[in-house]
């Protein structure tokens, strides 16, 4: 039964991902992205990683896509397709295509070679809040703190950029 | 694990809960109108049925049978999906809230919650954050300047107020760990905890902050900026009518009920009360009474506090509530470390 | 918050005669002043159009004159005046300007004959001197077709933008629009009946000058909007939620009161005044009747005067209560508590009105020559009871509002109007006093015996919405003070007449008709012919709850006014919105509109 559920959800996730790329309207793209994120969250929960699943919803669905929508609404979603069809964007498209193919190839290689094969054993409970918290604050304390410093720097950078130039 | 326990009981529980919530919504509007009327030196609804008790029914019938109007300039599918997207999070948030102690019904031990998720708090936050979509999409799809402004306000307001809300919840979990040594993210576990009085006291310090955040999260007066009828006509719901409007209305009120239920559970012990050990059914009554009392706070605030301005709301969040909640969290952490 | 109660200054006769103004004008502009006329205690300088700007600047800036307040600006079409009132060589159109001097406490009138052909009479614009000319010149352009040279944006303001003609011209008939609908099936109009509702012809009103829809979001606030208090449209230019510019667009409720005024007899215009600012009908009645009485030169008995003061002040409180209710509702949103409380008190006032005249809103109680009927015996105790109760309730409201942090934050520093701006924009009433200008016609040009009553004029130097809030709250207290004193006069004059005994103005008492032939003749003449004031022109401004409500009446000696101009305070005040709202947020605009306190019935007239 879980397999059936998985395939249905996987289809949804892929449909969402394709929708992000294909839809002409930027708001629809954002909505498709939201669908994708939501399904990913369900996958996490199915893998017993409830914490990750919920955080996926809170951070990605609840904040990031909202901000996307915010920006799209502010600049006007209808303008985006025109900008994309302009001929000047062609090189960017080619680069994106190549990068996507490379990523796909890497993923395929990983799957075939077994480097990305699912780990077995000791999965139970490792996705819970307690387990993640323990690991985050012991083994991975330094990367965790570094990441927060990075975010802080990004935030300050954004504030500096967004601040109105002072008259002088 | 038989099918009754896996499917039937949760199904019946969900059904009962949704029906209860919808009825609760209907009578919430009645409750609000009556309470506000008393504040306004009025009578409130008193024509439909005794004491106007059938007023919500009349309202529902009216909303359902109104002509379905879809304005020509809207983005149709998003426009139609938005009210649904607003309502669903409001309904499912209730799943992790324990309404009463376990009951013995038809020879079966039935727990009065739908799911005891071990990350109940996070679940509540996640659902709350998804609740923004209905409003944002409604505002965008309506293709109307007022709606758009309302949607932009909502997006900023809800995302901002989730921060202090989350921090207070973290602090609450820490506080509860004071009593037992280990905190729990489950709302069910939270209610069953025994706590000394000083833990309760410290918990109540956070209640005002939490309440204010909840006001903002539920878009209630004085933070009802997404729909400020005096500035934005009706904000994000300007272009909605009939049952679609009623769905938004429903979402708002059920949000309010859910928020009150969460506050009753977190800060006032949920279904706990005297004699619950002997008559477990009494727990439901306690829970409902507590929720109604917290709901009264919502209405009281609405009747007496003028609305703040949008930028003041953001200032208040980022420059006051956020630091205060951080300080609260820090003090809690120190307390936990010391004790 | 300061209250000032200056001693009433008795004006020396010379200044009332305006000899000094005349002398200085003639000395400075020997060629510009064409004529000086004195009548009805007013002075009228006829000024050559070419010199208007320099004369007006001189009058405004010259020490000792300081006519800083452009009280009214309008125009007259003199083509239908009887020959005895026309001088040879008179131009058809004339611009009329009323200037008021705060320091001298006097008002003068400038008459400026318009140059140019009838299709395009031209007068230089006063916009460089007074920004209030912006709206009033647009009105005169719209209704009379005067072209003001130098006006930044001369557009229609009352009539629809695609209207042809200028309605206040004498050759424009009253009504006269054909209804294009007929009931024959062959009529193409009939075939499309019903469809026109679904598919209206696309009309696009031009955007105000300077609004750039490509740079900023243009938001039409109104004409149907919960916070515009009627059918006001404000074309907003927004940058995010910040207001770049705000352009009030009025005229949706224009009912042509001035045009209709030229077609009804003097006494029949009283009910029209009810319907202008329908929240202050009594005050409007009073202002109009005082203007006609000034023209007639009748004496009003003391009892009528005292009753007039009581009802006018009651009306002022009622109007301020409406303001309080809606202002708080606008800023606070769904918290309607105060709306209900304020309306509860207003209800008591309306009950009192109902008791004395049977009507609650459109009272028409104050009539030319006095009041309609004497007050019933229950009036005095009822008003006394109200005064006691109301002061207590007012304390309650102040406790509720004045200390509310949220409300203060919503109003403080919002819609700031500096003293200079306020004077230049021509705003009056609490709006002007909220900017610290001592201008209350009850004190500066007392009428109806206001000079006999003791009261203060609340002033605030803040200039923001909070200042105006404070001023209005204090004004209600002062009104109670006036009512209490006037009520003593009402009690003292019990049994005295409340109408003038001038039989040419007021109807004789009913019982006289049975015995006196003379009374019967007067009755007959008054009912069939109406009042016939002497030819001439007067301006009378009085202190309405919203500001200076002025009536400028030109009489040709007939029973109907030749020209009846209404200077509405709300109309001028609402055009201060732009100055007040620039750079503030959308939410602030709502607070600003609320603090201006407009009634669209009077803005559009």
Instruction: Please indicate whether residue C162 or residue A19 has the higher confidence score (pLDDT).
Output: A19
C141, containing H or E segment: helix C133-144
CB atoms closer than 10 angstroms to residue A21: 10
Predicted confidence band of residue C201 (pLDDT cuts 50, 70, 90): low
Separation CA C10–CA C5 (nearest Å) = 15
What pairs with residue C554 in β-bridges?
C537, C563
Q: Is residue C344 part of a domain?
A: yes
On the CB side of C565, CA atoms within 13 Å amount to: 27
**B277 within 8 A of B102, measured Cβ to Cβ:** no
Inter-chain residue contact A58 with B129, CB threshold 8 Å: yes
Domain boundary among C89, C117, C149: C149
Q: Are C339 and C329 in contact (CB under 8 A)?
A: yes
- Domain-embedded: residue C211: no
Question: What are residue C36's phi and psi, to 5 degrees?
Answer: -130, 130
When pLDDT is averaged across residues C561-579 and rounded to a whole number, the result is 88
Tell me how far apart the alpha carbons of residues B137 and B255 are, in angstroms, rounded to a whole number. 18
| Residue B148: closest C-alpha in chain C | C240
Distance of CA C49 to the CA centre of its chain: 26
C395: domain range? Answer: 261-582+590-604
Q: Which residue of chain A has the CA closest to B129?
A: A62
The confidence score (pLDDT) of residue C197 equals 54
From chain C, the residues in CB contact with B42 under 8 A are 340
The pLDDT of C88-98, averaged and rounded, is 83
CA distance C588 to chain B (A): 8
The average pLDDT across C532-561 equals 88
Q: Is B44 on the interface with C (CB under 8 A)?
A: no
**Which of A129, A130, A151, A155 should we substitute to test contact with B (largest number of B Cβ atoms within 10 Å)?**
A129
Which helix (H) or strand (E) segment holds residue A3: the answer is helix A2-22
Instruction: Kindly tell me if the per-residue pLDDT of C5 is higher than 50.
Output: no
Cβ–Cβ gap B41/C335 under 8 Å: no
- How confident is the model over C573-602, as a mean pLDDT? 85
| Beta-bridge partners for C551 | C540, C566
Q: Are B125 and B214 in contact (CB under 8 A)?
A: no
pLDDT score recorded for residue C166: 86
In chain C, the residue whose alpha carbon lies closest to the alpha carbon of B303 is C335
Q: Would C548 be classed as within a structural domain? A: yes
Q: Is residue C164 part of a domain?
A: no
d(CA C210, CA C201): 26
Out of C219, C335, C586, the one facing B302 most closely (by C-beta) is: C335
Q: Which two tokens stand for residue A32?
A: 């498709």
**Residues C434 and C580 sit within 8 Å (Cβ to Cβ):** no
CB C605 within 8 A of CB C568: yes
Question: What secondary structure, in 3-state letters, does C305-363 show?
Answer: HHHHHHHHHHHHHHHHHHHHHHHHHHHHCCCCHHHHHHHHHHHHHHHHHHHHHCCCCCC
Other beta carbons within 10 Å of C112: 27
In DSSP terms, C243 is beta-bridged to C238
Q: What are phi and psi of C149, to 5 degrees?
A: -75, 130
Which residues on chain B are in Cβ contact (under 8 Å) with C410?
306-309, 312
Question: Which tens digits make up the pLDDT trace of C226-247?
Answer: 777 778 888 888 877 788 888 8
Q: Which two tokens stand for residue B329?
A: 């969290």
**Is the Cβ pair C586, B40 closer than 8 Å?**
no
Domains in chain C: how many in total? Answer: 2
| Residue B271 neighbours by CB distance under 10 Å | 25
CA distance C75 to C141: 9
- DSSP-H helix ranges across A23-89: 26-46, 50-55, 65-75, 79-85
User: Within this chain, do residues C278 and C412 fall inside the same structural domain, yes or no?
Assistant: yes
- pLDDT of residue C273 exceeding 80, the answer is yes
Chain C nearest CA to B176, separation (Å): 34
Q: Mean pLDDT throughout B53-62?
A: 86
* For residues C475-485, average pLDDT: 90
Taking a C-beta distance cutoff of 8 angstroms, is the pair C55, C110 a contact?
yes
pLDDT at res. A149: 92
Beta bridge partners of C234: C221, C248
Comparing CA positions, the residue from C33, C74, C72, C25 lying closest to residue C50 is C33
Q: What is the residue-wise DSSP string for C8-23?
A: PPPPPHHHHHTHHHHH
Judge residue B73's burial from the number of C-beta atoms within 10 Å of its C-beta, 0-12 exposed, 13-18 middle, 19 or more buried.
exposed
pLDDT of residue C188: 66
Q: Which CATH class is domain A2-85+123-162?
A: mainly alpha
Q: Do C341 and B36 touch (CB under 8 A)?
A: no
CATH of the domain at C366: 1.10.645.10
Cβ-in-10-Å burial (0-12, 13-18, 19+) of C131 comes to buried
C177, part of any domain: no
- Residues C242, B118: Cα–Cα separation, whole Å: 45
C435-467 pLDDT, tens digit each: 888 888 888 888 888 888 888 888 888 888 888
Name the band, by pLDDT with cuts 50, 70 and 90, for residue A152: very high
B256 Cα to chain A: minimum distance (Å): 19
Encoded tokens for B60 = 């529902």
**At residue C531, does pLDDT exceed 70?**
yes
Q: Greatest CA span in chain C, whole angstroms?
A: 79
Above 70 in pLDDT, residue A100? yes
Rounded Cα–Cα distance for residues C331 and C347 (Å): 23
**Nearest CA-CA partner of C203 in C251, C162, C155:** C162
Comparing C-alpha atoms, which of C269, C272, C364 is closest to residue C315?
C364
Q: Does some domain include residue C541? A: yes
- pLDDT tens column, B238-280: 778 778 888 888 888 888 888 888 888 888 877 777 777 777 7
Distance between CA atoms of B223 and B154, rounded to whole angstroms? 10
C576 in Cβ contact with B139 (< 8 Å): no
Percent of all residues in chain A with a pLDDT value above 90, rounded to a whole number: 5
**Can you tell me whether residue B257 is helix, strand or coil?**
helix
What interhelical angle do B145-180 and B322-338 show, nearest 10? 10
* Residue A122, φ and ψ in degrees, nearest 5: 60, 25
Q: Do A74 and B133 touch (CB under 8 A)?
A: no
Within 13 Å of residue A2, how many CA atoms lie on the same side as its CB? Answer: 6
Cα B5 off chain centre by: 28
User: Which residues of chain C have a Cβ shorter than 8 Å from any chain B Cβ?
Assistant: 217, 219, 225-227, 241, 328-337, 339-341, 344, 404, 406-407, 409-410, 585-590
Mean pLDDT of A40-59: 80
CA distance C94 to C74: 9
Which of C202, C333, C413 would you mutate first to test chain B, the one with the most B CBs within 10 A?
Answer: C333
Report the sign of the C-alpha dihedral through residues B240, B246, B252, B258, in that order.
Answer: negative
What φ, ψ does residue A88 adopt, rounded to 5°?
-65, -15
Q: Mean pLDDT throughout B111-135?
A: 77
Which of B149, B224, B231 comes nearest C334 by C-beta? B224
- The answer to whether the Cβ–Cβ distance between B152 and A55 falls below 8 Å is no
Residue C199 binned pLDDT confidence (cut-offs 50, 70, 90): low
3-state DSSP assignment of residue B175: helix
Distance from first CA to last CA of chain A, Å, rounded? 68
Residue range C167-195: mean pLDDT, rounded: 67
Distance from CA of A57 to the nearest CA of B (A): 6
**Count of beta carbons in the 10 Å neighbourhood of residue C122:** 16
What angle do helix axes B207-217 and B242-268 make, rounded to 10 degrees?
Answer: 170
d(CA C339, nearest CA chain B) in Å: 8
**Cβ-based burial of C268 (10 A; exposed 0-12, middle 13-18, buried ≥19):** middle
Question: How near does any CA of chain A get to the CA of B257, in Å?
Answer: 21
Q: Is C303 strand, coil or helix?
A: helix
Which residues in chain C have Cβ-Cβ distances shorter than 8 Å to B229? Answer: 226, 333-334
Q: How far apart are CA A39 and CA C442, in angstroms?
A: 73
| Helices B197-205 and B322-338: angle between axes, nearest 10 degrees | 160
Angle at C406 between CA C402 and CA C407, to 5 degrees: 45
Model pLDDT for residues B288-312, shown as the tens digit of each residue = 888 888 889 888 888 877 777 777 8
| Within a domain: C192 | no
Indicate yes or no: CB of C344 within 8 angstroms of CB of B233: no
H-helix or E-strand spanning residue C273: helix C270-274
Segment of B181-195, C16-30, C324-338, C524-538 carrying the highest mean pLDDT = C524-538
Question: C124-157: per-residue pLDDT in tens?
Answer: 888 888 888 888 888 889 888 888 888 888 888 8
Give CA–CA dist C588/C212, Å, rounded: 22
Nearest CA among C138, C155, C56 for reference residue C97: C56
Interface contact flag, C585 B146, Cβ < 8 Å: no
Q: pLDDT grade, residue A150 (50/70/90)? A: very high
Using DSSP bridges, classify how beta strands C457-459 and C2-4 pair: parallel, antiparallel or unpaired: antiparallel
- In this structure, the number of other CB atoms found within 10 A of the CB of residue C222 comes to 23
Closest CA–CA distance from residue B36 to any residue of chain A (Å): 33
Question: So what's the pLDDT on residue B204?
Answer: 84
Residue-level pLDDT at C190: 64
Residue-wise DSSP of C496-551: S-SB-S-TTTSPPPHHHHHH-HHHHHHHHHHHHT---PPSEEEEEEEEETTEEEEE
Residue among C339, C404, C590 whose CB faces B231 most closely: C590
Per-residue CA distances from C386 to A16, C313, C346, C351, C529 (Å): 69, 13, 10, 11, 41
Mean pLDDT of chain C, nearest integer: 82
* Environment class of C514 (CB within 10 Å of its CB; exposed 0-12, middle 13-18, buried 19+): exposed
Q: Is residue C167 part of a domain?
A: no
Q: Who contacts B274 (Cβ-Cβ below 8 Å, separation ≥6)?
A: none
Is pLDDT at C2 greater than 50 in this prediction?
no
Where does the pLDDT of residue A115 fall: very low under 50, low under 70, confident under 90, or very high at 90 and above? low
Packing angle, helices B132-141 and B120-130, rounded to 10: 10
Arithmetic mean of pLDDT, C286-297: 88
Residues of C in contact with B233 (CB under 8 A): 225-226
């Amino acid at each position: 039964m879980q397999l059936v559920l998985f395939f249905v959800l996987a289809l949804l996730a892929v449909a969402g991902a394709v929708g992000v790329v294909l839809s002409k309207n930027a708001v629809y793209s954002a909505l498709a992205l939201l669908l994708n994120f939501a399904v990913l969250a369900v996958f996490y929960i199915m893998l017993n990683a409830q914490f990750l699943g919920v955080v996926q919803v809170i951070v990605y669905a609840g904040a990031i896509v909202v901000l996307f929508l915010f920006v799209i609404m502010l600049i006007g979603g209808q303008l985006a397709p025109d900008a994309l069809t302009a001929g000047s964007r062609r090189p960017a498209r080619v680069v994106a295509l190549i990068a996507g193919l490379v990523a796909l190839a890497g993923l395929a290689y990983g799957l075939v070679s077994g480097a990305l094969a699912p780990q077995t054993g000791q999965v139970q409970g490792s996705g819970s809040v307690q387990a993640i918290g323990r690991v985050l604050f012991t083994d991975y304390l330094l990367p965790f703190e570094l990441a927060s410093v990075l975010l802080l720097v990004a935030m300050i950078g954004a504030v500096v950029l967004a601040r109105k130039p002072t008259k002088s | 694990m038989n099918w009754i326990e896996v499917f039937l009981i949760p199904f019946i529980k969900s059904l009962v809960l949704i029906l209860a919530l919808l009825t609760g919504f209907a009578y919430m509007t009645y409750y609000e109108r009556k309470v506000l009327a008393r504040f306004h030196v009025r009578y409130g609804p008193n024509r439909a049925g005794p004491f106007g008790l059938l007023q919500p029914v009349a309202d529902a019938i009216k909303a359902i049978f109104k002509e379905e109007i879809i304005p020509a300039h809207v983005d149709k599918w998003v426009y139609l999906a938005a009210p649904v997207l607003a309502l669903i999070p409001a309904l499912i948030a209730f799943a992790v809230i324990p309404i009463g102690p376990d009951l013995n019904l038809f020879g079966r031990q039935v727990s009065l919650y739908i799911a005891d998720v071990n990350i109940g708090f996070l679940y509540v936050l996640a659902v709350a954050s998804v609740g923004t979509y209905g409003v944002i999409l409604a505002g965008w799809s309506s293709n109307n300047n007022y709606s758009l402004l309302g949607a932009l306000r909502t997006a900023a307001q809800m995302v901002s107020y989730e921060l202090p809300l989350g921090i207070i919840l973290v602090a609450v979990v820490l506080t509860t760990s004071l009593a037992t040594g280990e905190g729990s993210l489950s709302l069910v576990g939270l209610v069953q905890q025994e706590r000394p009085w000083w833990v309760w006291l410290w918990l109540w310090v956070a209640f005002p902050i939490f309440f204010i955040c909840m006001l903002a999260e539920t878009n209630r007066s004085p933070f009802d900026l997404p729909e400020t009828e005096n500035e934005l006509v009706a904000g994000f719901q300007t272009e909605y009518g009939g049952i679609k409007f009623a769905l938004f209305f429903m979402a708002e009120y059920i949000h309010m009920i859910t928020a009150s239920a969460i506050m009753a559970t977190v800060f006032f012990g949920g279904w706990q009360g005297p004699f619950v050990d002997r008559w477990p059914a009494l727990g439901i009554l306690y829970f409902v009474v507590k929720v109604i009392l917290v709901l009264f706070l919502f209405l009281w605030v609405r009747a007496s506090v003028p609305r703040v301005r949008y930028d003041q709301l953001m200032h208040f969040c980022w420059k006051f509530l956020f630091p205060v909640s951080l300080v609260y969290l820090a003090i809690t952490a120190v307390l936990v470390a010391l004790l | 918050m300061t209250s000032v109660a200056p001693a009433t200054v008795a004006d020396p006769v010379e200044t009332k005669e305006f000899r000094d103004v005349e002398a200085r004008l003639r000395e400075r502009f020997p060629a510009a002043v064409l004529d000086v006329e004195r009548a009805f205690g007013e002075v009228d300088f006829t000024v050559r159009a070419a010199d208007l700007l320099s004369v007006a600047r001189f009058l405004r800036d010259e020490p000792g004159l300081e006519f800083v307040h452009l009280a009214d600006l309008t125009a007259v079409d003199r083509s239908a005046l009887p020959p005895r009132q026309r001088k040879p060589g008179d131009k058809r159109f004339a611009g009329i300007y009323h200037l008021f001097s705060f320091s001298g406490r006097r008002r003068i009138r400038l008459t400026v004959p318009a140059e140019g052909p009838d299709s395009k009479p031209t007068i230089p614009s006063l916009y460089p001197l007074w920004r209030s000319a912006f709206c009033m010149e647009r009105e005169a352009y719209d209704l009379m077709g005067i072209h003001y040279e130098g006006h930044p944006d001369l557009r229609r303001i009352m009539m629809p933008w695609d209207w042809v003609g200028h309605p206040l011209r004498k050759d424009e008939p009253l009504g006269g629009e054909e209804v294009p609908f007929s009931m024959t099936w062959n009529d193409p109009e009939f075939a499309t009946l019903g469809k026109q509702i679904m598919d209206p012809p696309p009309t696009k009103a031009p955007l105000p000058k300077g609004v750039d829809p490509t740079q900023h979001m243009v938001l039409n606030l109104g004409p149907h909007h919960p916070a515009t208090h009627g059918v006001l449209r404000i074309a907003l230019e927004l940058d995010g939620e910040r207001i770049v510019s705000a352009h009030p667009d009025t005229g949706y409720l224009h009912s042509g009161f001035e045009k209709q005024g030229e077609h009804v007899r003097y006494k029949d215009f009283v009910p029209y005044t009810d319907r202008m600012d329908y929240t202050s009908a009594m005050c409007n009645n009073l202002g109009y009747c005082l203007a006609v009485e000034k023209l007639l030169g009748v004496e009003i008995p003391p009892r009528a005067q005292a009753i007039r003061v009581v009802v006018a002040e009651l009306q002022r409180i009622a109007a301020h209560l409406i303001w309080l209710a809606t202002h708080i509702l606008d800023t606070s949103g769904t918290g309607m508590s105060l709306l209900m409380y304020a309306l509860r008190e207003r209800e008591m006032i309306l009950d009192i009105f109902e008791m004395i005249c049977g009507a609650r809103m459109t009272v028409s109680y104050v009539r030319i020559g006095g009041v309609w009927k004497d007050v019933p015996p229950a009036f005095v105790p009822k008003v006394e009871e109200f005064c006691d109760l109301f002061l207590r309730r007012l304390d309650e409201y102040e406790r509720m509002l004045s200390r509310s942090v949220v409300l203060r934050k919503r109003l403080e520093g919002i819609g700031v109007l500096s003293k200079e701006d306020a004077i230049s924009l021509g705003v009056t009433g609490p709006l002007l006093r909220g900017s610290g200008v001592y201008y209350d016609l009850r004190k500066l040009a007392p009428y109806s015996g206001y000079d006999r009553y003791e009261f203060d004029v609340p002033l605030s130097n803040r200039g923001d919405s909070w200042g105006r809030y404070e001023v209005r709250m204090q004004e209600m207290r002062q009104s109670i003070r006036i009512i209490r004193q006037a009520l003593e006069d009402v009690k003292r004059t019990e049994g005295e007449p409340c109408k003038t005994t001038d039989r040419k103005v007021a109807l004789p008492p009913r019982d006289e008709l049975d015995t006196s032939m003379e009374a019967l003749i007067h009755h007959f003449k008054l009912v069939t012919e109406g009042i016939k004031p002497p030819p001439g022109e007067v301006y009378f401004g009085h202190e309405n709850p919203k500001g200076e409500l002025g009536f400028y009446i030109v009489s040709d000696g007939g029973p109907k006014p030749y020209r009846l101009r209404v200077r509405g305070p709300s109309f001028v005040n609402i055009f201060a919105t732009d100055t007040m709202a620039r750079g503030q947020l959308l939410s602030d605009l709502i607070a600003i509109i609320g603090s201006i306190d407009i009634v669209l019935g009077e803005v559009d007239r």
